Amino acid sequence: MALLEGCRHSLEVSIPVEDVDGETGRVMADVQKRAKLPGFRPGKAPASLIRKQFAGDIRQRVLESLIPKFLNKQFEAENLNVVGTPDIKDVHFHDGEPLRFKAEFEVVPAIELQEYKGVEVPYHDPEVIAEDVAQRIEELRQAKADYSNVDPRPIEDGDFAVVSLETVSGAGAESGPVKQDETVLEIGGKDTFPAFSENLRGASPGDEKEFSVPYPEDYGNKRLAGKTVAFHAKVKGIRKKELPELNDDFAQDLGDYRNLEELREALRKNIFAQRQYEAQQAAKEKIVEKLVAEHDFPVPEVFVERQIRNRVEQSLRALASEGVDPNQLKLDWAKVKESQREKAVHEVKASLLLAKVAEREAIHATREEVDREVERIARQQREPVPAVEMRFERDGTLGRIASHIQTEKTLNLLFEHARKTA
């Protein structure tokens, strides 16, 4: 076996004449049995004629049968963990001679694990102060607010204007027409673009106005980001927000809380758990970054290509979810792929390292853990568990779930044994 580059190797294989002749005879007999030639009943055409008429088909079937069989035997004999589909070249297939060919393929790299326990990482448990809880309670009050209609009058700051909006032809409408029969805008509110507040302030129900709204470059909707769009707006009404009183009744209305203090304590625990999870995830990412930096090994190109494809597909799905047709962007996808390469290589290295640690520590996903995740997804999708499990088994999702669980358990082990610094 010869090493070509990185994880790519080549192997020359020779298949004995007797095996080639035996497989050729078997294929010829099968072709002879099925062949329909003028002047001969099925299965009665002479072998010499069969060999002449179906030479190409016979050759192809013999190659398709023997090459994978003997190549896999060689892989097993040399204990090679091959990934992807081997490239077969330099095939020599002649009567009375061994069948010889060359295979080029990639293997999973041999990784010599450095010390992975005791990695130093900055981490401390998060703090939750009274202001954090008060802010979360205020968010709940805002979510529980009622809106009451106000008698017609000029709109003021703090009002919620009920308007219909429609883009005017031209003036930014090329990004796609926008029409909303009824939308509610808080005049002067922090989440309302100033252009809406400035142009609707002082208007009364029944008034109609046209004005332009500049959208920032980082606006979430890519169709509008960085554009100035002209709108025709009609004021349909005015509403006032009424917040619920902050008392024990408010707490009881939100769930199984006896009083406001119980609600505050539950919120404090929830905020702490959320921040702790985020802090631990950040620490785990830093641990993996350090491990990748400390291990130098090649990665199979087939893994890198697959990861690049996953990253590009995620980007396309994100664009599509925002209403953008990726086919209309006229992007140079070769350049896009190249821009993703460095991150993809890092992610593949991280994945291989975590798999190696999991192997060393005998970490794996149990059947019960996989079943629990399948049940969670089934409840979320409101489907019967057996139907979801059958679908996941068929499309390979069960394996991906098990792999994800194994990775999470491995990351937990690394975090548990890390040296946390303030």
402: domain CATH number is 1.10.3120.10
Residues 71, 95, single domain; the answer is yes
Supply the DSSP symbol for 162. Answer: E
E strand map for 53-135: 82-92, 99-107, 120-122
Say if residues 279 and 126 touch (Cβ distance below 8 Å).
yes
Say if residues 140 and 254 touch (Cβ distance below 8 Å).
yes
Q: Which CA distances in Å does 418 have to 112, 303, 326, 404, 414? A: 20, 29, 43, 21, 6
Q: How far apart are CA 281 and CA 25, in angstroms?
A: 61
Q: Please report the pLDDT score of residue 95 as a whole number.
A: 86
Q: How many domains does the chain have?
A: 3
Q: b/e string for 266-288 if b means 16 or more Cβ within 10 A? A: bbbeebeeeeeeeebeebbebbb
Q: How far apart are CA 308 and CA 300, in angstroms?
A: 13
- Neighbouring CB atoms inside 10 A of 224's CB total 21
Residues 262, 232, single domain; the answer is no
Q: Which of 217, 242, 267 is the last residue of a domain?
A: 242
- Sequence-separated (6 or more) residues with CB below 8 Å from residue 135: none
- Sequence-separated (6 or more) residues with CB below 8 Å from residue 198: none
Q: What are the DSSP calls for 165-209, one per residue?
A: EEEPSSTTGGG---EEEEEEEETT-TTS-HHHHHHHTT--TT-EE
Q: How far apart are CA 213 and CA 280, in angstroms?
A: 41
Is residue 86 a part of any domain in this protein? yes
Q: Please report the pLDDT score of residue 169 as a whole number.
A: 63
- Sequence-separated (6 or more) residues with CB below 8 Å from residue 25: none
Is residue 221 a part of any domain in this protein? yes
Q: Please report the pLDDT score of residue 175 as a whole number.
A: 54
The amino acid sitting at 87 is: D
> What helix, strand, coil percent values describe the chain, rounded to 5?
50, 20, 30
Domain with residue 48: its CATH number is: 3.30.70.1050
User: Worst-scoring range by mean pLDDT, 52-66, 227-241, 255-269, 371-385?
Assistant: 52-66
Residues 271, 413, single domain; the answer is yes
Over 60: is that where the pLDDT of 24 sits?
yes
Domain with residue 203: its CATH number is: 3.10.50.40
Residues 177, 72, single domain; the answer is no
Residue pLDDT, tens place only, 238-253: 999 999 999 999 999 9
Residues 307, 178, single domain; the answer is no
Residues 377, 278, single domain; the answer is yes
Residues 403, 279, single domain; the answer is yes
Per the structure, the complete domain to which residue 212 belongs is given by 146-242
**Confidence band (pLDDT; 50, 70, 90) for 369?**
very high
Residues 267, 411, single domain; the answer is yes
Choose from 45-49, 179-183, 308-312, 396-400 the range with maximum mean pLDDT: 396-400
Mean pLDDT, residues 399-421 taken together:
96
The helix/strand/coil state of 211 is strand
Is residue 119 a part of any domain in this protein? no
Over 60: is that where the pLDDT of 172 sits?
no
Structure tokens at 415: 């975090």
**Confidence band (pLDDT; 50, 70, 90) for 171?**
very low
135 Rama sector, left if φ>0, alpha if ψ -120 to 50, beta otherwise: alpha
Is residue 230 a part of any domain in this protein? yes
Is residue 360 a part of any domain in this protein? yes
Supply the DSSP symbol for 6. Answer: T
Q: Please report the pLDDT score of residue 1 as a whole number.
A: 66
The helix/strand/coil state of 5 is strand
Q: What is the mean pLDDT of the chain?
A: 90
Residue pLDDT, tens place only, 203-229: 999 999 999 999 898 887 777 788 888
Residues 158, 205, single domain; the answer is yes
Is residue 124 a part of any domain in this protein? no
Structure tokens at 181: 């029969």
C-alpha of 178 from chain center: 30
Over 80: is that where the pLDDT of 51 sits?
no
Closest Cα to residue 205, out of 241, 153, 249?
A: 153
User: Worst-scoring range by mean pLDDT, 123-127, 173-177, 364-368?
Assistant: 173-177
- Sequence-separated (6 or more) residues with CB below 8 Å from residue 328: none
Model-wide pTM > 0.95: no
Residues 308, 354, single domain; the answer is yes
Residues 231, 265, single domain; the answer is no
Is residue 235 a part of any domain in this protein? yes
Mean pLDDT, residues 276-294 taken together:
96
Is residue 51 a part of any domain in this protein? yes
Mean pLDDT, residues 120-140 taken together:
96
Residues 214, 334, single domain; the answer is no
**Confidence band (pLDDT; 50, 70, 90) for 336?**
confident
Closest Cα to residue 290, out of 409, 411, 119, 114?
A: 119
